[in-house]
Amino acid sequence: MTGGEHLARFRTLLATRMGWTFADADLPHLGQELAARAAARGLDAGAYLDRLGAGGWREEISTIAEDLTITETYFFRHGEQFRALADTVLPERIAARAERRALRLLSVGSSSGEEAYTLAIIARTAAPGPDWIVSVLGLDANPAMLRKAAGACYSGWSLRETPDEVRQRWFRPRDGGHEVLPEIRELVRFRQYNVADEDAALWRPDLYDVIFCRNLLMYLTPATAAALVRRMTRALAPGGYLFLGHTDSLGSRPDGLEPQHDHGTFYYRRPPAAPAAGPAPAAPRRDPAPGPPAAPPAAAADRIRALLHAERFADALDLAEAALTDHPARPDLLLYGVLLAQAGRLDDAEITARRLLDRDGLDADAHHLLAVCLEGGAAVDVAIGHYRLAAYLDPAFAMPRVRLGLLARRRGDHRTALTELDRAVDLLRGESDDRLAMFGGGFGRIALSHLCRTEIDACGSRR
């Protein structure tokens, strides 16, 4: 194969693995990257491309993302969009969420975090009270940018468009820079994610109030950009809003979105759900049937879940306790048990897990919860039995694999540790956000995968 053919293949692979498109003028730069990466891996260009084309090899994909992405960003970039957010969009979403009192915002291609923190500052300021839950998730493929975002400390240049009063209220000096205050940082989480990959949990329907995806679509192939816009549209709550970069137009008739125009900027709205049809004709009056009292209203369960995702465990437990009925539905009882365990009330959590298992002995989450309660005491072997059952009952459940691997390593059983941790790394990619929030012990997907990999390395073998 000639150098030109290698380069063409590299370009195609970057389109399939990362969703990127490159102009012909970028080819010399791509050629340098191909040569540098192949050399760094001790391979010739052909062997390197074969390996890249075989799939997986996530560390290499991350390194390429670090080398080739354009990461320019700053706080309050394109201020008119943030003014539309503060003046038009958030008041409307706050009215729509009055019962649940929770706002979820997403920054896709969040780079070093400035956009996600700007969203958090504006949403926190707009929220009617401190009891409102604001959560912002930032997604990016470039791990170096995610590390910077997690550090939350920025130069004056990053704050060049930040109003003085915002700078004084939400930042403090650190190491010659400006650190975002903890009360904003705790609203924001970041996650490594490549928009060319599917992730059903991230793009669950009706999830987000507001999505910002600015200055990313222009780097993507038309197919990747279209797929991403479809996912974002579906994941917006009815009445939710999408903001794109100035050069990323969807035209005047985008599928499932209505263009909006105010504050000198364009953005999009998913139309609100049609109002329910008029009241149904009155049914003949009947005495209420005897039976269990109603489960807590869905709004309470949603709120508890939102608090759990925001890692406000004590508040979540208070609310779960207040909302608990005599005959709670299974998801509410499970949440309650998880929160008891997180609060260190292991005896109560164990009772709750056993209650769940009395109802359904094949409940994988309940077995896992019971094992968590038992693991710290004398009954480690019994805990292992319940972790095994949880993993057996739901082969896609990553968390029992993580625990089984860590326990095996602690006991010096490296073979079992390797098997379980290897499986855990694979399954963690698809683990649901709810299960991560319930059983991840405060660690997210990336941190847990990293932990598993470190333990695998410590067992003396690399994946």
Ligand X SMILES: C[S@@+](CC[C@H](N)C(=O)[O-])C[C@H]1O[C@@H](n2cnc3c(N)ncnc32)[C@H](O)[C@@H]1O
Give the up-direction half-sphere exposure of residue 158: CA atoms within 13 A in the CB hemisphere: 23
Q: Which residue has the tokens 């669950």?
A: 204
Show Cβ contacts of residue 120 under 8 Å, excluding neighbours closer than 6 positions. Answer: 105, 134, 136, 184, 187, 188
**Residues 164 to 193 in contact with ligand X, rule: CB under 6 A:** 193
Cα 44 from Cα 421, distance rounded (Å): 32
* Run of H or E residues at 237: strand 236-244
Find the binder of ligand X among 63, 81, 111, 233 (CB under 6 A): 111
Under rule CB under 6 A, residue 449 binds ligand X: no
Q: Is 77 in the site for ligand X (CB under 6 A)?
A: yes
Angle, CA 133 vertex, CA 301 and CA 163 arms, to 5°:
165
Residues 6+ apart with CB under 8 A from 22: 11, 14, 30
The two tokens of residue 344 are 């260190």
Q: Should residue 140 be labelled a site residue for ligand X when binding is judged by CB under 6 A? A: yes
Closest CB to ligand X among residues 219, 387: 219
158 sits near ligand X (criterion: CB under 6 A): no
Rounded Cα distance, 322 and 307, in Å: 14
* Among positions 63, 101, 115, 418, the unique one binding ligand X when judged by CB under 6 A: 115
Please tell me whether residue 145 binds ligand X under the rule CB under 6 A. Answer: yes
Shorter beta-carbon distance to ligand X: residue 90 or 216:
216
> Angle at Cα 141 formed by Cα 137 and Cα 144, nearest 5°?
95
Cβ proximity to ligand X, 21 vs 125, nearer residue: 21
Which CB sits closer to ligand X, 16 or 419? 16
Closest Cα partner for 323 from 341, 305, 311, 343? 305
d(CA 342, CA 253): 48
- Closest to ligand X by CB, 187 or 451: 187
Between CA 190 and CA 223, with CA 53 as vertex, the angle to 5 degrees is: 60
The smaller minimum CB distance to ligand X, of residues 109 and 240, is found at 109
Residue 118: both structure tokens together: 């700007």
Q: How far is the CB of 130 from ligand X (least distance, A)?
A: 28
Q: Compute the least distance from the CB of residue 160 to ligand X, in Å.
A: 13
Q: Any contact of residue 216 with ligand X (CB under 6 A)?
A: yes
Within 10 angstroms of residue 62's Cβ, the number of other Cβ atoms is: 17
Residue 18 touches ligand X, criterion: CB under 6 A? yes
Minimum CB separation of residue 154 from ligand X in Å reads 13
Least Å from the CB of residue 382 to ligand X: 43
The answer to whether residue 211 forms part of the interface with ligand X (CB under 6 A) is no
CB 410 to ligand X: min, Å: 36
Q: Count residues contacting ligand X (CB under 6 A)?
A: 25
Verify binding: residue 223, ligand X, rule CB under 6 A: no
Residue 238 — φ and ψ, nearest 5°? -55, 130
Give the residues lining the site for ligand X (CB under 6 A). 18-19, 65, 69-73, 77, 109, 111, 115, 140-142, 145, 193-196, 214-216, 219, 245
